[in-house]
Structure 1
């Protein structure tokens, strides 16, 4: 019964839609959902299995590369021990050193050819001589102060030490290529003394070359260490950079799930992880879900296309039914909505004498009555705003008068008669203009003289806080402006911008004409204000009791009262930097009593 009641209260066009559209959309959604779910589940299952098998193969090959590096460095350790024993190197005899260096050089070169994974290998003896088939052989002063050498010296055992993927400018073939390094202390098997240190480098390219080719839109395979840094990747620009956000790195550390869907840069990605044993590395595969679901997307487009055609047919049916049955009522409803939005310039003309015609005549009479009421209310509101304007002016000045008299009194007490005289003259000038024989509208030149008097008084009071400049184009001086428009803005800039600043600031007033508007800017380099504070000021009514924002909001109200909604204020501010209030006055003639 409730559903039937709701249906009866609906508009005629909606009732027609309620009947037709579900008959088409419901089967369409069921087909799309079912086919997409089945197809997507199948694609994801096959993809995850393929990635799992492929990842196992990759991790096995990487483990083989790293294992070969360990075998390589252990073989060289034995070879170097044999060379030292055969040559009985016990002194710094140059002949013995050259002979042994050549033998070690040849051993490294020979085994490097056998182990193609090795990019660079070097033996550093205890005299800092670097022996390597690479160009970086010779004596290197300060080599033992490098981080890698310090770590190997601290390691008192003969165990192999792996160093993180990095770029460095020593003991490498190319300082621009990332490498992973294996180091080892070489100890004499006879005496137990340290003979030197072996350094073996594997290029990152050697590891990433194992990864399968990838499409341009997916990241493919990459390896991440425990710190979340990319160790190896098919994308060279990603190496040695963070793998992603904290959520992604936490998932890698937890290892709770092998597969995870994560949104990265607005795209949903399927991530798969596998552990590379012995290194605490994670082999990650990242592929965009949109690639996996491309076929699903095509299937959806076909079904949606058919659905759109069906919906189009339904819309045509609704249109013809509405035209035959409900058009007059729908038109009346549309006009009523326009009235609700505030548009009263509408009429419903109907030549019919039936029920619709009666509704039309009643509707038009009602609209005319509303227009008449609104004209009356608008006239009364304008009078009320004028009363408010007079109240605003009376609230602006008393505190200024009190503070200025107090300043004059202070100057007299300090025997600063010249300052007291100038302040008194400025005060007289300020009130002479502000009174203006009771006029609410004055020339801009008079408003500028008023603000000059005000600023000269404030400059005496706040000599340590501010400097000021006034730059007004002559072409706008004869235009009209509501009296005391600038004073509240300048007062706000001084008290809430410059005075609470830790250093001396400046205030600049600039006026000019732009097209059909007069622009006046009040700019200070004080403490600024937040965006929320700006909104609070602009949205606040002049009827508010908040004295901090009262002045600025009252100016905004007065401008709109005298100039209309095309004029007003714009506030720009950066906290700790500046505040600029711009006045826009649409140029129009207003009566000024001379």
Structure 2
């Protein structure tokens, strides 16, 4: 036996993969390497820029601290805060001297601003009110810390520290003033860098449209922010700011961004730059566009070449393969023969295509003849079942018997003969396979009346039919066999306690009828046999010509698998037979043309 090798891809797609492997993939690899090297270079240069700016800031801050030390060591400031040289009782004169000194310093300096505080502000209320209004320094944590420990630090001052003094956050260096003679603490000096000066140092570092620049203190609050947001940074971002020099990719504001940071003044401050990756890659956008354009060109070229070769040489084979698969699924359709452009070829492919087309056409013709023959056979079988005797003759004979019975005052015979005549008249239905729900119910009631008279005992049948379905078309002789089965096998041994309920309505766009009895139920093996597949003659013998099997097969034959009968039963709990019938147009009178029978 020859072992066949199975390929998951067709010849066309394998050919395209070869082109990709030889042309597109190497070029894409080269483009990626060039792009990645460019990206690394840009990231490295950006980190260098941040580090250099941080170094410049560090030098500037040290210059500020040196100037602060010079002012603190000046004889004039030492004298202002020396208790021995000031009269504590003359608070106004003392306040005026300090304010004049501070104003003179601030007026002459455009880089920073000086603020002076006595070591015990509550002892100098006139000066504190004149210079800072209602500022209560005794409750400010930063002032308590510097007054007690004397360790200098950088702090961001904002409106919370003094609402009238700070329009925007300002960075300041806080130091405790000591006497040069006794080294006793005298006061607190704050050297605040003007925000415009910080911006002159930091803003030139901005190179990208959506770049965010921050100068963050050790508590996570920006002393400078290029976007004007001065709230505390996110905890996740704060954790990224711990190294003294770092470059990393983070998620920021919902975007992948490059974080570059450098320490300023040791652990006191961090200069931070956050650039969205999209903006960062703009400098290499030209390279990307060229790479993508060339990739697209080679991709289209490979598609064109692969398409040209495969359409010319492999499409006929693909067509034949699809037709063979369709034949394997027994899916023969007229449109399979519509495409004949390959049949005119003079080579072996054309010969194969013509042979395949001829074979498919012959098989389709044979299948159609078989289906038509099967349909005619089914119709003849149903007609034989429905017309085993001449209904016209039988109906006219019964009508004569009824009139004679009434003439001889035998009313009971007249009633049963009248019901039987109605039964045959309704079952005849003018030779049409479709009746209405209302006429089918009349036929069913006539049958029940006959059974009541024939059995000489009442048969309790309850009808629960929705009004909206009474005029809808229904295949004839489908409810009577269900009720007959319930009478014969369901309530035959129940006596007067036997009951049958006939329900009908619309469910999921179907006509659904349920015939329920309170009999012993239908065993599972018998239910399976009644509605199972096959042609076992014992089934039809059990139910007679117009039994459950006949109804089930008629429904499935004309309307398909979703329709037919279902049996719901439990031992000792009665049985329910469910009939599912399609909703047909109200003007429908015949089954032919409404649905193709299932062969």
| TM score, norm. by length of structure 1 | 0.51
Question: CA offsets per residue over residues 301-329 of structure 1, 9 Å max, x none?
Answer: 22332343333233223333233223333
- Equivalent of residue 91 in structure 2, options 85, 88, 97: 97
Q: Secondary structure at the match of 1:271?
A: strand
Instruction: Trace 1:314-463 onto structure 2 (pairs within 5 A).
Output: 314-331=302-319, 347-349=335-337, 352=343, 354-360=351-357, 365=363, 437-439=463-465, 441=466
Question: CA offsets per residue over residues 368-398 of structure 1, 9 Å max, x none?
Answer: 97998xxx9xxxxxxxxxxxxxxxxxxxxxx
Instruction: Trace 1:157-236 onto structure 2 (pairs within 5 A).
Output: 157=148, 159=150, 162=153, 164-168=155-159, 171=162, 174-182=165-173, 201-213=192-204, 214-215=206-207, 217-236=209-228
- Equivalent of residue 126 in structure 1, options 122, 125, 131: 122
In structure 2, the CA distance between the partners of 1:50 and 1:168, relative to structure 1 (3 Å rule), is closer
Q: Secondary structure at the match of 2:242?
A: helix
Instruction: Trace 1:60-75 onto structure 2 (pairs within 5 A).
Output: 60-69=59-68, 71-72=70-71, 75=74
In structure 2, the CA distance between the partners of 1:21 and 1:186, relative to structure 1 (3 Å rule), is closer
> Which sections of structure 1, spanning at least 5 residues, go unmatched?
377-434, 445-479, 484-542, 544-557, 565-586
Question: Bigger shift: 316-325 or 123-132?
Answer: 123-132
Q: Does 1:299 align with 2:309?
A: no
Number of the residue aligned with 1:285: 273
Q: Does 1:16 align with 2:39?
A: no
For the 8 Å contact 2:54–2:263, the answer to whether it is kept is no
For the 8 Å contact 2:91–2:126, the answer to whether it is kept is no
In structure 2, the CA distance between the partners of 1:80 and 1:263, relative to structure 1 (3 Å rule), is same
For the 8 Å contact 1:221–1:234, the answer to whether it is kept is yes
In structure 2, the CA distance between the partners of 1:311 and 1:275, relative to structure 1 (3 Å rule), is closer
Number of the residue aligned with 2:130: 137
Separation in structure 2 between the aligned mates of residue 187 and residue 66 of structure 1, nearest angstrom: 15
Number of the residue aligned with 2:240: 251
Aligned length: 380
Separation in structure 2 between the aligned mates of residue 309 and residue 283 of structure 1, nearest angstrom: 45
> Which sections of structure 2, spanning at least 5 residues, go unmatched?
344-349, 376-460, 470-504, 509-565, 567-577, 589-599
For the 8 Å contact 2:156–2:217, the answer to whether it is kept is no
Number of the residue aligned with 2:80: 80
Question: CA offsets per residue over residues 244-287 of structure 1, 9 Å max, x none?
Answer: 462x43232245x6322334345443332222225532222333
Aligned CA RMSD, in angstroms, stands at 5.0
Instruction: Trace 1:260-271 onto structure 2 (pairs within 5 A).
Output: 260-265=248-253, 267-271=255-259
Quote the offset at 1:211 in angstroms: 0.5
For the 8 Å contact 1:160–1:182, the answer to whether it is kept is no
For the 8 Å contact 1:122–1:131, the answer to whether it is kept is no
Separation in structure 2 between the aligned mates of residue 202 and residue 295 of structure 1, nearest angstrom: 35
Separation in structure 2 between the aligned mates of residue 100 and residue 42 of structure 1, nearest angstrom: 60
Separation in structure 2 between the aligned mates of residue 17 and residue 194 of structure 1, nearest angstrom: 84
Q: Does 1:241 align with 2:241?
A: no
- Equivalent of residue 275 in structure 1, options 260, 263, 273: 263
In structure 2, the CA distance between the partners of 1:97 and 1:147, relative to structure 1 (3 Å rule), is closer
Separation in structure 2 between the aligned mates of residue 55 and residue 105 of structure 1, nearest angstrom: 34
The structure whose Rg is larger is 2
Separation in structure 1 between the aligned mates of residue 302 and residue 318 of structure 2, nearest angstrom: 19
For the 8 Å contact 1:166–1:178, the answer to whether it is kept is yes
Separation in structure 2 between the aligned mates of residue 55 and residue 368 of structure 1, nearest angstrom: 89
